[in-house]
């Protein structure tokens, strides 16, 4: 071989090697492990993190409100998540199809980025899919705590997940697992109970929302079982229900023992059940803002409890690390990210957040491995949810929103949540259950025919609504009219005077009173009195006619002054859209089974007062709840049949039922 041939051979060999390496590199670029669903989640996370720029990682850590988001913003800033704040909807009375279109549009922006990382849309679905027109609204958590039925919680979680997914949304900011220790707190109805054991049991809703975690799964690993389930969020970590005087977003004064024994147990269970995310609390612990508490967010939650999902901030919460809020935003970002917050709910000023966080990382105030950890946790949840394989939503679940099956479930939840506090002025003279066939019934009170009052806050809008037009459901009045005999006259007067009540020749009266809707700080109260004219309605009606009073409220209210004139008293909490669950019990189709999830005080001067306190002197103790007997149910059924030509036999059965009941209750 001559010199020229030898050189040509070597050049050819080198070219062949170069070509071979180029092909391998091209193949490697085409095969991206993070896009392969057969790869383990940890492998996919490592692969995609290795491909991402700092800008892309920080983008994953940002959650903006839908009013700020556009397709172009999603693409340009690599935004990791979008949310609907309370009442934020694509259109007034938007349909499921409207929601799907909006979510898919934002997803288009995310998928058009260099790496095509999908965004995750989040929403408050705290008692059903509460932002959405025509959705099923379940009782608020305090009522579900009265039901004390973990299996029911699973079914509610499952139904809620279906309705949320039906609108294209894969992530909910629920459940709230706060332990409310003072009913003056404006979020007390978001708490299942004053008792940490009950709150812990209610975390079974996570299994309904996300799916049953597979056997053998490691503790702390998030789990979401497919396209009909959603990622859940345990909130608000930790102690938010124990603030001084129940002040919202304020300070919790607590020993380590009380924090771990009262406020932490539900988090243990939530993490064991595979909860995907945890939201930090606005509140402080012994003067230290929770959003800046490294010991608890990173040391305890991520370290001791081995939580592998991501920590999300509350709405503009990192701003409130300083006083006044946003006074030193760079410091707020630094302290929250170093404390362990992974995704920041920064609804509006996201460019400021991105710029400041980028500066902090580039100047080594925040190490790169903290950013990798945060972005990696977020991506891990997205992989687990199947978002990379199914980023878009189809229309296959659209009919799940407000389905009759879900409304029947909500009606069952209402039945199980009601607590009977009084039944008759004496044990021998009970009022409930009510006969369905009588001459005339008086229905009174501002809450008897108001779906908004019945649902409470976090319904359609953040603070709730007034009236019957904002969504679909059955009011108490509507339920009464459906339940009674067709020949029974139902008269509704919202605020009758005593003369009207006396002169109307009513067989009995049903009075519905309570609180007007509120959420968060809007519900702070130092007096805990029912809304006017509730007290006047009770006095005017119940001193003139046999009456059952239904209290529609997010917590116990001052009721002792009116108790002597009331024949029967029912705590209905905030029951949601299915008012027939109330009449199911009033008229004896089912018996009362609910038990007080929290202490009913005599006066606000006693607060805070919880079961086990040395000064415990309640009007009705924690766990109290009467029931109606089977003999009483016989009375109601017999009375309802009075239209048949067996009047004498029915009268006999009524008297026998009353006699047996008097023996049982004496």
Tell me, what's the pLDDT at 24? 46
Average pLDDT over residues 528-538: 98
Tell me, what's the pLDDT at 377? 98
**How many C-beta neighbours within 10 Å does residue 349 have?**
16
Whether 206 contacts 200, CB under 8 Å: no
- The string over 533-548, giving b where at least 16 C-beta atoms fall within 10 Å of a residue's C-beta and e elsewhere, is bbbebbbbbbebbbbb
E runs forming strands in 246-287: 251-252, 277-280, 284-285
Whether 81 contacts 121, CB under 8 Å: yes
Catalytic residue from among 158, 195, 249, 314: 314
Whether 557 contacts 551, CB under 8 Å: yes
Give yes or no for residue 649 having a pLDDT over 90: no
Which burial class, exposed, middle or buried, applies to 506 when counting CB atoms under 10 A from its CB (0-12, 13-18, 19+)?
buried
- Structure confidence at residue 636 as a pLDDT band (50, 70, 90): very low
- Structure confidence at residue 634 as a pLDDT band (50, 70, 90): very low
Tell me, what's the pLDDT at 642? 37
Rounded distance, CA 306 to CA 45, Å?
18
Rounded distance, CA 80 to CA 100, Å?
18
E runs forming strands in 397-501: 419-423, 440-444, 489-493
Whether 118 contacts 112, CB under 8 Å: no
Show the tokens assigned to 485. Answer: 């005999």
- The answer for residues whose C-beta is within 8 angstroms of residue 518's C-beta and 6 or more apart is 186, 456, 457, 463, 464, 554
Tell me, what's the pLDDT at 323? 96
Give yes or no for residue 412 having a pLDDT over 90: yes
Say if strands 81-84 and 62-65 run parallel, antiparallel, or are unpaired: parallel
Average pLDDT over residues 622-640: 65
Whether 555 contacts 604, CB under 8 Å: no
Rounded distance, CA 370 to CA 335, Å?
12
What's the chain's average pLDDT? Answer: 92
Tell me, what's the pLDDT at 2? 58
For the entire predicted model, the pTM comes to 0.91
Q: Identify which of 545, 568, 572, 246 has the alpha carbon closest to the alpha carbon of residue 427.
A: 568
Average pLDDT over residues 423-432: 91
At 263-320, the pLDDT tens digits run 999 999 999 999 999 999 999 999 999 999 999 999 999 999 999 999 999 999 999 9
Please list the residues that pair with 251 across neighbouring strands: 284
| C-alpha R_g of the chain | 29
Whether 160 contacts 208, CB under 8 Å: yes
Active site residue 507: no
Rounded distance, CA 187 to CA 205, Å?
19
Tell me, what's the pLDDT at 4? 54
- Say how many CA atoms lie within 13 Å of 252 toward its Cβ: 28
Average pLDDT over residues 323-329: 98
Which burial class, exposed, middle or buried, applies to 161 when counting CB atoms under 10 A from its CB (0-12, 13-18, 19+)?
buried
- Structure confidence at residue 63 as a pLDDT band (50, 70, 90): very high
**How big is the chain, counted in residues?**
666
Catalytic residue from among 520, 567, 578, 584: 520
- The three-class DSSP label of residue 634 is helix
Whether 246 contacts 188, CB under 8 Å: yes
Tell me, what's the pLDDT at 218? 87
- Structure confidence at residue 31 as a pLDDT band (50, 70, 90): confident
Give yes or no for residue 35 having a pLDDT over 70: yes
Whether 233 contacts 242, CB under 8 Å: no
- Structure confidence at residue 345 as a pLDDT band (50, 70, 90): very high
Helix axes 329-339, 350-362, angle to 10 degrees: 70
Give yes or no for residue 661 having a pLDDT over 80: no
Give yes or no for residue 505 having a pLDDT over 90: yes
CA terminus-to-terminus distance, the chain: 119
- The string over 226-250, giving b where at least 16 C-beta atoms fall within 10 Å of a residue's C-beta and e elsewhere, is ebebbbbbbbbbbbbbbbeebbbbb
Structural domains present in the chain: 33-397 (3.20.20.300), 418-620 (3.40.50.1700)
At 154-173, the pLDDT tens digits run 999 999 999 999 999 999 99
Tell me, what's the pLDDT at 657? 39
- The three-class DSSP label of residue 651 is helix
Whether 142 contacts 188, CB under 8 Å: yes
Q: Identify which of 240, 235, 236, 643 has the alpha carbon closest to the alpha carbon of residue 437.
A: 643
Average pLDDT over residues 92-104: 97
Rounded distance, CA 147 to CA 315, Å?
30
E runs forming strands in 499-615: 508-514, 547-552, 568-573
Rounded distance, CA 490 to CA 462, Å?
34
| Percent of the chain predicted with pLDDT > 90 | 87
Active site residue 295: no
Average pLDDT over residues 401-426: 97
E runs forming strands in 455-540: 489-493, 508-514
Tell me, what's the pLDDT at 217? 84
The CB-based long-range contact list for 533-536 (8 Å cut-off, 24+ gap) reads 533/446, 533/495, 534/445, 534/446, 535/561, 535/562, 536/495
Give yes or no for residue 646 having a pLDDT over 60: no
Tell me, what's the pLDDT at 174? 98
């Amino acid at each position: 071989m001559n010199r020229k041939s030898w050189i040509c051979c070597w050049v050819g060999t080198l070219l062949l090697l170069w070509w071979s390496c180029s092909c391998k590199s091209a193949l490697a670029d085409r095969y991206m492990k993070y896009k392969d669903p057969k790869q383990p989640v940890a492998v996919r996370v490592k692969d995609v993190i290795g491909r991402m720029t700092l800008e892309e990682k920080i983008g994953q850590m940002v959650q903006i409100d839908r009013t700020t988001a556009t397709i172009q913003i999603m693409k340009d800033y690599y935004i990791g998540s979008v949310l609907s704040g309370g009442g934020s909807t694509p259109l007034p009375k938007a349909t499921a199809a409207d929601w799907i279109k909006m979510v898919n549009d934002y997803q288009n922006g995310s998928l058009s980025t260099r790496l095509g990382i999908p965004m995750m849309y989040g929403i408050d679905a705290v008692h059903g899919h509460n932002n959405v027109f025509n959705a099923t609204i379940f009782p608020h958590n305090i009522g579900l705590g009265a039901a004390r039925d973990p299996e029911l919680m699973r079914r509610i979680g499952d139904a809620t997940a279906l309705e949320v997914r039906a609108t294209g949304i894969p992530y909910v900011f629920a459940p709230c697992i706060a332990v409310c220790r003072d009913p003056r707190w404006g979020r007390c109805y978001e708490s299942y109970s004053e008792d940490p054991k009950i709150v812990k049991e209610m975390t079974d809703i996570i299994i309904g929302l996300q799916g049953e975690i597979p056997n053998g799964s490691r503790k702390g690993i998030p789990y979401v079982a497919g396209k009909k389930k959603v990622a859940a969020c345990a909130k608000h970590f930790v102690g938010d229900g124990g603030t001084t005087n129940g002040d919202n977003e304020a300070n919790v004064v607590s020993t380590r023992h009380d924090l771990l024994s009262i406020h932490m147990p539900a988090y243990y269970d939530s993490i064991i059940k595979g909860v995907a995310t945890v939201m930090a609390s606005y509140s402080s612990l012994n003067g230290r803002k929770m959003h800046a508490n490294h010991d608890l967010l990173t040391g305890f939650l991520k370290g001791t409890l081995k939580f592998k999902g991501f920590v999300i901030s509350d709405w503009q919460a990192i701003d409130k690390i300083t006083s006044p809020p946003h006074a030193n935003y760079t410091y707020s970002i630094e302290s929250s990210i170093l404390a362990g917050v992974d995704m920041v709910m920064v609804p509006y000023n996201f460019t400021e957040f991105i710029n400041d966080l980028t500066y902090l990382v580039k100047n080594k105030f925040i190490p790169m491995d903290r950013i990798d950890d945060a972005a990696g946790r977020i991506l891990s949840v997205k992989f687990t949810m199947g978002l990379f394989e199914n980023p878009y939503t189809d229309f296959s679940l659209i009919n799940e929103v407000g389905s009759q099956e879900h409304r029947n479930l909500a009606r069952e939840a209402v039945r199980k949540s009601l607590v009977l506090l009084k039944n008759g002025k004496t044990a021998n003279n009970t009022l409930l259950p009510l006969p369905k066939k009588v001459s005339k019934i008086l229905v009174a009170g501002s809450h008897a025919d108001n779906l908004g009052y019945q649902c409470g806050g976090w319904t359609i809008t953040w603070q709730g609504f007034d009236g019957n037009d904002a969504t679909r459901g059955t009011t108490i009045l509507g339920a009464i009219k459906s339940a009674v005999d067709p020949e029974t006259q139902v008269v509704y007067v919202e605020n009758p005077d005593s003369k009207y009540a006396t002169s109307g020749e009513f067989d009995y009266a049903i009075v519905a009173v309570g609180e007007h809707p509120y959420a968060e700080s809007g519900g702070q109260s130092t007096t805990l009195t029912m809304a006017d004219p509730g007290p006047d309605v009770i006095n005017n009606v119940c001193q003139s006619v046999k009456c059952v009073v239904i209290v529609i409220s997010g917590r116990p209210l001052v009721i002792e002054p009116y108790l002597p004139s009331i024949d029967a008293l029912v705590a209905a909490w905030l029951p949601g859209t299915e008012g027939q669950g109330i009449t199911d019990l009033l008229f004896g189709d089912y018996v009362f089974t609910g038990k007080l999830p929290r202490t009913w005080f005599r006066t606000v001067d006693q607060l805070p007062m919880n079961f086990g306190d040395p000064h415990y002197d309640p009007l009705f103790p924690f766990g109290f709840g009467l029931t109606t007997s089977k003999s009483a149910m016989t009375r109601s059924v017999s009375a309802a049949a009075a239209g048949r030509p067996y009047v004498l036999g029915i009268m006999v059965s009524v008297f026998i039922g009353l006699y047996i009941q008097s023996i049982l209750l004496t």
